[in-house]
């Protein structure tokens, strides 16, 4: 009962906060609110971009408001939308895309916004693997790509040397991953490798990298009838192999999301699968050792060549229900954000990928990648080949819940409660229930 | 016999005095509770666009959901363990604090401190001590040959969240037990001592029964605490993991509603939880209160 009381209290506080942030003061520039989920170094850079836009013109003023992590930001926006106090712009993580696309009453598609306000805007300037994640079935852009990341392998060069491995050659295949991890263990390193975001990296990106379908209906792009395929042999063998390695700490589980990164920072684990968006933090935290960045290993039994990775991160959605005068300002702001200079600056400071080709070229010309070869690994993975139906991304409803289900089932494998086949069968069964539920709610 | 009763000369005065509390209850409890019950019968899009009445579907779906049923079991274990630990340790501390002759006040004040710590902070404190890679206690355990890693081992995760949750509640219970102990008449204890009863026997036959109203009150409070307020501990320490080992009902409600955006399902779970805790409290008053001597 106390919980409900808290529910109500939070709701009212939220409404009050929303009212305070959206209340407008007479004349002056038109205020446009942007709710985001960027903290730390990323928030600093984001505010820098906003300041730059605000100073570049006097008609609009962007108010960037930090709303907690991705989940909290989305939930606050939903509560605010229902109370008619929503922000103009909302940053939503990639797995929330399915939810946003289907919230037709709440969103203004970006292609429509840009067309209505005649700001020069070229959707084809975006890197295809990034743009593809946020377009509808006709290729029209629904949200504005902002911070995109993709997984890479960070490794400890010092420990590689100690174990007699070549610090310029991170493992290229999963087989090498096993032998390298074993050598590292034999040399006295506490653990071979660990992984952040296990569902995103070891399942979703594993599928794209090996050109395997993750779900039917082109990983969900074809319709809400999609069902998961992650209990097929390649996935089961992969997870079973990693579980086998965990017995001798060649692999060690370090928790969900970014939590395992601390095992890498402390030198306990010699290798870490993580997002390129963490590049800045890795650089700041890896103070006692030199680190390198490698691409994801390939399982040569499944594919002879890697395909391409898929993105994570977030995009910007425009919400309905604001005065007409706001939308022109939002369009101007989006145009500003997609300029090569802003994009390059954002990418350089945060480690997120440059989302347009022009920004990538600009960074390249400026010699950024020559100085930071690690930063280029990610964009090369993403643009390795033209995306296929299996590597364009995924679009499924209730996907945050499905990720939690996958997390739970994988944890059951790491703790030895289930074998890989049992866990992935259960993940498919439970995940498909979520997909059925979403499908039913749409029809 | 004349009734002893305070009488207000005006009719509106008592109403005005009670009104703020009633308003707070209505706005912060009755209204959200009503909304929760209503939305438990609907399936709705996250942004509120579409809304279908589905009758009891959200409730029946819960019984098909193995992880929800699992969560029920987890909650019972967690609540029972937290409550028992909080009650027994605080009683032990209170009995000893009550006996201490020197420094009793300091002792009592220090033991009350943890209550000022919010559950989420309590969770983080324990997390620091028992973090498998950097925690001091975790390192010590490793040194003793206990492989401590609550991120993989569900039992260890449960032990950790129970300790973190009980730790804070021990301080609260301690204050009540101490006050109750101090009101036990010393003549009773002296009389028993003269009759030859040892300290343990004196405690169980005289002191413990006299503490029963306090114990009963704390039992109800601690159970409600372990069901609802421990959310902060779970969220900061384990997020319900590993593999659902600490996914208590209130966390499941949050996950379904706030992460999964399934508002109808989340509301149905809240209603079940609300009915369950009402039922539990009624049972306690029926069966346990009968043994309480005021």
In this predicted model, what pLDDT tens digit does every residue of A154-198 receive, in sequence order? 999 999 999 999 999 999 999 999 999 999 999 999 999 999 999
Other Cβ atoms less than 10 A from the Cβ of B63: the count is: 9
Q: Assess B155–A contact: CB distance below 8 Å, yes or no.
A: no
Measured distance between the N- and C-terminal CA atoms of chain A, rounded to whole angstroms: 35
Residue recorded with tokens 């409404």: A15
DSSP A296: P
Parallel/antiparallel/unpaired status of strands A30-36 and A60-66: parallel
Task: Give all strands (DSSP E) within A222-323, no chain letters.
Answer: 269-275, 291-294, 312-319
Report the alpha-carbon distance of residue A259 to residue A378 in Å, rounded. 21
CA distance B37 to chain A (A): 11
DSSP assignment, residue B86? Answer: H
A2-149+312-382: CATH topology: D-Maltodextrin-Binding Protein; domain 2 (3.40.190)
Instruction: Give the β-pairing of A151-156 and A291-294.
Output: antiparallel
Question: What is the tens place of the pLDDT at every residue in A375-404?
Answer: 899 999 999 999 999 998 999 988 888 998
- Rounded (10°) CA dihedral B116, B119, B123, B128: -30
Q: Locate A79 and state its tokens.
A: 């509560």
Nearest chain A Cα to B32, which residue?
A8
User: Which tokens sit at B6?
Assistant: 């305070």
Q: Rounded to a whole number, what is the distance in Å from the CA of A25 to chain B's nearest CA? A: 28
Q: Is B128 on the interface with A (CB under 8 A)?
A: no
Distance from CA of A15 to the nearest CA of B (A): 14
> Are the C-beta atoms of residues B68 and B269 closer than 8 Å to each other?
yes
Place of tokens 């991120």: B151
* Chain B closest-CA separation from residue A238 CA (Å): 19
Q: Tell me the CATH number for domain A151-309+398-442.
A: 3.40.190.10
Structure tokens at B32: 């959200």
**Measured distance CA(A75)–CA(B260) in Å, rounded:** 10
Predicted local distance difference test score (pLDDT) of residue B4:
62
Q: Which residues of B touch A398 (CB under 8 A)?
A: 260-262
Of A2, A74, A263, Cβ closest to residue B133: A263
pLDDT at A25: 47
Please give the pLDDT value at position A313. 92
Coil vs helix vs strand at A33: strand
Contact A8 B45 (CB under 8 A): no
Residues B155, B160: Cα–Cα separation, whole Å: 9
d(CA A394, CA A433): 17
**3-state SS class at A193:** strand
Judge whether residue A11 has pLDDT over 90. Answer: no
Rounded CA-CA distance A209/A235 in Å is 12
| pLDDT, greater one: A216 or A71 | A216
Q: Which chain B residue is nearest to residue A104, measuring alpha carbons?
A: B49
B258 in contact with chain A, both atoms CB, cutoff 8 A = yes
Task: Kindly indicate the confidence band of residue A19, based on its pLDDT and cuts at 50, 70 and 90.
Answer: low
| A443 touches B at CB < 8 Å | no
Q: How far is it, in rounded angstroms, from Cα A415 to Cα A421?
A: 14
The token pair at B180 is 């109750």
pLDDT of chain B, 294 residues: tens digit per residue: 455 666 777 788 888 999 999 999 999 999 999 999 999 998 887 787 777 888 898 999 888 888 888 999 999 999 999 999 999 999 999 998 888 667 778 888 888 888 888 888 888 999 999 988 778 898 888 888 888 889 889 999 999 999 999 998 999 999 999 999 998 888 988 899 899 888 889 999 889 999 999 999 999 999 999 999 999 999 999 888 788 899 999 999 998 888 888 888 999 999 999 999 899 889 888 887 777 766
Question: Percent of chain A having pLDDT more than 70?
Answer: 94
Mutate to test the interface with A, among B74, B142, B152, B265 (most CBs of A within 10 A): B152
Q: Does A83 touch chain B (CB under 8 A)?
A: no
Within 13 Å of residue B78, how many CA atoms lie on the same side as its CB? 35
A55 backbone φψ class: left, alpha, beta (φ>0; ψ -120 to 50): alpha
On chain A, the residues whose CB falls within 8 A of the CB of B69 are none
Maximum Cα–Cα distance for chain B, whole Å? 77
The CATH H-level superfamily of B67-291 is MetI-like (1.10.3720.10)
Strand segments (E) across chain B: 42-44, 51-53
Cα distance between residue B93 and residue B107, in whole Å: 10
A18: pLDDT strictly greater than 60: no
Q: Residue A197: which region, alpha, beta or left (left: phi > 0; alpha: psi -120 to 50)?
A: left
Q: In degrees rounded to 5, what are phi and psi of residue B136? A: -65, -50
Residue B167: enclosing H or E segment and its boundaries? helix B154-182
Q: Do B45 and A103 touch (CB under 8 A)?
A: yes
CB contact under 8 A, A78 and B46: yes
Q: Report the share of chain A in percent with pLDDT over 90.
A: 72
Give the residue from chain B lying closest to A440, CA to CA: B43
B92 touches chain A (CB under 8 A): no
What is d(CA B204, CA B91) in angstroms, rounded to the nearest whole number? 12
| Interface pTM, i.e. ipTM | 0.75
**Partner-chain contact A1 B228, CB within 8 Å:** yes
The values of phi and psi at residue A380, to 5°, are: -70, -35
**How far apart are alpha carbons B56 and B44 in whole angstroms?**
14
| Residue located via tokens 């925690």 | B135
Evaluate whether A318 touches A107 at the Cβ level (below 8 Å): yes
Residue A194 CA to residue A311 CA, distance in Å, equals 20
CA angle B58, B70, B272 (to 5 degrees): 40
Q: Is B279 on the interface with A (CB under 8 A)?
A: no
Residue in chain A lying closest to B66 (CA):
A430
Domain positions in chain A: 2-149+312-382, 151-309+398-442
| Mean pLDDT lowest among A64-68, A108-112, A281-285, B222-226 | A281-285
Whether A105 sits inside 8 A of B31 (CB atoms) is: no
- Cα-to-chain-centroid distance, residue B65: 26
Q: Helices then strands (H, E): number in chain B?
A: 14, 2
pTM of the model: 0.83
What value does the mean pLDDT take over residues A202-222? 95
Average pLDDT over residues A115-124: 89
């Amino acid at each position: 009962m106390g919980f409900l009381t808290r529910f109500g209290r939070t709701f009212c506080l939220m409404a009050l906060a929303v009212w305070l942030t959206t209340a407008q003061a007479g004349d002056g520039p038109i205020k446009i609110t942007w709710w985001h989920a960027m903290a730390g170094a990323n928030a600093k850079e984001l505010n820098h971009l906003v300041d730059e836009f605000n100073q570049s013109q006097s008609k609009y003023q962007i108010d960037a408001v930090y709303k907690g992590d991705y989940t909290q930001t989305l939930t606050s926006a939903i509560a605010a939308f229902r109370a008619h106090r929503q922000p103009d712009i909302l940053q939503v993580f990639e797995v929330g895309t399915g939810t946003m696309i289907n919230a037709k009453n709440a969103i203004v598609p970006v292609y429509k916004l840009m067309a209505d306000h005649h700001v020069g805007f070229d959707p084809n300037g975006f890197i295809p693997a990034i743009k593809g994640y946020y377009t509808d079935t006709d290729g029209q852009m629904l949200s504005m790509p902002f911070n995109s990341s993709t997984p890479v392998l960070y490794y400890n060069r010092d420990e590689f040397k100690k174990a007699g491995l070549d610090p310029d050659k991170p493992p290229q295949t999963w087989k090498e991953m096993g032998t390298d991890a074993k050598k590292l263990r034999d040399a006295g390193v506490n653990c071979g490798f660990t992984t952040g975001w296990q569902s995103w990296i070891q399942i979703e990106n594993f599928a794209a990298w090996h050109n395997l379908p993750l779900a039917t209906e082109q990983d969900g792009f074809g319709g809400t009838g999609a069902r998961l395929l992650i209990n097929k042999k390649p996935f089961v063998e992969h997870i079973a192999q990693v579980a086998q390695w965990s017995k001798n700490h060649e692999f060690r589980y370090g928790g969900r999301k970014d939590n395992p990164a601390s095992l890498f920072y402390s030198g306990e684990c010699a290798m870490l699968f993580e997002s390129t968006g963490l590049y800045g933090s890795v650089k700041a935290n890896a103070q006692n050792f030199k680190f390198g960045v490698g691409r994801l290993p390939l399982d040569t039994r499944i594919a002879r060549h890697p395909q391409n990775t898929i993105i994570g991160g977030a995009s910007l959605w425009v919400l309905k229900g604001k005065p007409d005068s706001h939308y022109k300002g939002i369009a101007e702001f989006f145009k500003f954000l997609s300029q090569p200079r802003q994009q390059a600056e954002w990418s350089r400071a945060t480690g997120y990928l440059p989302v347009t080709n022009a920004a990538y070229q600009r960074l390249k010309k400026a010699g950024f990648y020559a100085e930071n070869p690690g930063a280029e690994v990610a964009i090369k993975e993403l643009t390795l080949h033209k995306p296929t139906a299996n590597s364009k991304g995924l679009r499924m409803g209730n996907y945050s819940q499905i990720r939690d289900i996958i997390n739970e089932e994988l944890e059951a494998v790491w703790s030895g409660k289930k074998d890989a086949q049992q866990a992935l069968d259960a993940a498919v069964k439970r995940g498909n229930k979520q997909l059925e539920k979403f499908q039913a709610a749409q029809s | 016999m004349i009734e002893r009763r305070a009488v207000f000369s005006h009719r509106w005065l008592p109403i005005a005095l009670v009104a703020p509390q009633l308003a707070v209850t209505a706005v912060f409890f009755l209204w959200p509770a009503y909304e929760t019950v209503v939305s438990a019968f609907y399936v709705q899009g996250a942004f509120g666009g579409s809304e279908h009445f589905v009758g009891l579907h959200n409730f029946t779906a819960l019984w098909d959901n193995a992880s929800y049923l699992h969560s029920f079991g987890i909650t019972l274990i967690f609540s029972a363990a937290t409550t028992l630990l909080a009650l027994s340790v605080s009683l032990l501390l209170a009995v000893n604090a009550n006996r201490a002759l020197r420094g009793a006040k300091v002792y009592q004040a220090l033991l009350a401190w943890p209550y000022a710590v919010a559950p989420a902070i309590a969770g983080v404190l324990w997390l620091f001590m028992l973090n498998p890679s950097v925690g001091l206690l975790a390192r010590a355990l490793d040194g003793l040959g206990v492989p401590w890693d609550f991120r993989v081992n569900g039992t260890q995760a449960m032990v950790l969240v129970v300790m973190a949750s009980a730790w804070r509640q021990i301080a609260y219970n301690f204050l009540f037990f101490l006050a109750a102990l101090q009101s036990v008449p010393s003549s009773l204890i002296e009389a028993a001592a003269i009759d030859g009863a040892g300290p343990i026997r004196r405690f169980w036959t005289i002191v413990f029964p006299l503490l029963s109203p306090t114990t009963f009150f704390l039992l109800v409070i601690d159970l409600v605490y372990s069901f609802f307020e421990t959310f902060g501990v779970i969220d900061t320490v384990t997020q319900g993991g590993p593999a659902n080992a600490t996914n208590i009902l209130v966390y499941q409600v949050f996950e379904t509603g706030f992460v999964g955006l399934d508002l109808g399902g989340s509301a149905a779970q809240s209603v079940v939880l609300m009915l369950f805790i009402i039922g539990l409290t009624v049972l306690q008053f029926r069966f346990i209160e009968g043994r309480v001597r005021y």
